[in-house]
Amino acid sequence: MKTVCLYFQVHQPWRLRRYRFFNMGKDHDYLDDPLNRSIMQKVARECYLPMNALLLKLIRDNGGRFRCSFSITGIAVEQMRAYAPEVLDSFRELAATGCVEFLGETYSHSLASLASEEDFAEQVRLHGLMLEREFGVKPEAFRNTELIYSDSIGEQVARMGFRTMLAEGARHVMGWKSPDFVYTNARDQRLRLLLRNYKLSDDIAFRFSDRSWDRWPLTAGKYVEWLASNQTPGDTVNLFMDYETFGEHQKADTGIFDFMKALPGLALGSGLEFATVSEAAYRHQPVAVLHCPHVMSWADEERDVTAWLGNELQNEAFGKLYALHDRVRALHDPDMDHVWSFMQTSDHFYYMATKWLSDGDVHSYFNPYDSAYDAFINYMNVLSDFQIELARAEERHAAAAAPEGAPERPAAETEPKRRPAARRRTAKA
């Protein structure tokens, strides 16, 4: 029996406010709270709440035979907690069914796997703690930011204890092989890999409402025929996409919710089955080792990481951010840790891209910047002020650790005009 594996990514970045050079050293509120609130509440209204309600109904109506998987970033959960707590409640309802799997990933949707194995592991650990706290689940499968994967990254994920990982079924990696089978990591064959069928996934995520597409309109019946067809040979068809596909990228008036409502029943009636990521990975035996010596992702036609690290602006920002790693970790300061977390989010680097992005309309939606250079300047202004605050925090830490009798530094050198706790309370209110 062919398995359909549906996986949805849930993520919203903390968007930065317009932060000028003249704010540095004086004003330490970095986040655009009105914008973050309005976007989260809009996406909750148009996507998260109606789609979660629909999935819950589909699970119940089909006696638990309809199953799917999610990954939800810690950054997104922070915003749900602050601006749309009812969304968290609806995800908890889905978790309680036992038919929905929540995958591990990086807490802040970061590029840490490209920077530091230590920071990558810490991000994954924090995300696992969040899943246990919010949904009472411990992740067994893993999905890296933007499906970034290589043999080396897969090996690191296996060392963290995961036994299944998602990756892109990129043509330049797969060659003649089909993504519709289970594979294993080249360095640690205990790690099983599920590869995205990008054509069938993008038929929903990108092409569903495209009237110039020669297959438009896409009906559930037509789509199930493609899934069940002998022209789609394999053990498992992996359909991975942004959750915001439903109601945001593809608006309700396109019929996307009606499509999803009809899909499970027609698929089950055609002899297909649904499974979570872990179920699909262990229901079928691996057919081969996947060799991927170079990093790939699910972004753009190139399926590489140049969408985030493809120009001098991005690389300079990325390098300066991760150069602060050891200093931030040494402080054990919750305020600094919080800012360090949201500054790592990959979206900040995506906004700096200067290449032509084939899927840019989807991946850069709600982009608050007029240009890549505008995004770079704003990010670097915030990062520069964060460095000033970090130095002040280090001075306070050193003063507190000084032995008795040591001369104290003047207050002006040790106390900032405004403690960074204010921005933390704003973000986590």
- What is the residue-level pLDDT of the chain in tens, covering all 429 positions? 899 999 999 999 999 999 988 788 778 899 999 999 999 999 999 999 999 999 999 999 999 999 999 999 999 999 999 999 999 999 999 999 999 999 999 999 999 999 999 999 999 999 999 999 999 999 999 999 999 999 999 999 999 999 999 999 999 999 999 999 999 999 999 999 999 999 999 999 999 999 999 999 999 999 999 999 877 789 999 999 999 999 999 999 999 999 999 999 999 999 999 999 999 999 999 999 999 999 999 988 889 999 999 999 999 999 999 999 999 999 999 999 999 999 999 999 999 999 865 554 544 567 889 999 999 999 999 999 999 999 999 998 888 877 665 555 444 343 333 334 334 434 443
Give the residue carrying structure tokens 């915003």.
Answer: 79
From start to end of 117-177, where are the E strands? 141-142, 164-168
Exposed e or buried b per residue across 145-178, where buried means at least 16 C-beta atoms within 10 angstroms of its C-beta: bbbbbbbbbbebbbeeebbbbbbbbbeebeeeee
Residues with a known catalytic role? 146
Contact indicator for 127, 162 with CB cutoff of 8 Å: no
| Dihedral sign from CA coordinates of 183, 188, 190, 195 | negative
Per-residue confidence (pLDDT) for residue 404, from 0 to 100:
60
Give the residue carrying structure tokens 């945001």.
Answer: 248
| Predicted model pTM | 0.91
Per-residue confidence (pLDDT) for residue 426, from 0 to 100:
40
How many Å is the Cα radius of gyration of the chain?
Answer: 22
Tokens, residue 165: 């990982």
Compute the distance between CA of residue 151 and CA of residue 147 in angstroms, rounded to an integer.
13
Q: Measuring CA to CA, which residue among 144, 182, 146, 145 is closest to residue 160?
A: 144
Per-residue confidence (pLDDT) for residue 312, from 0 to 100:
97
Contact indicator for 390, 327 with CB cutoff of 8 Å: yes
Compute the distance between CA of residue 300 and CA of residue 182 in angstroms, rounded to an integer.
24
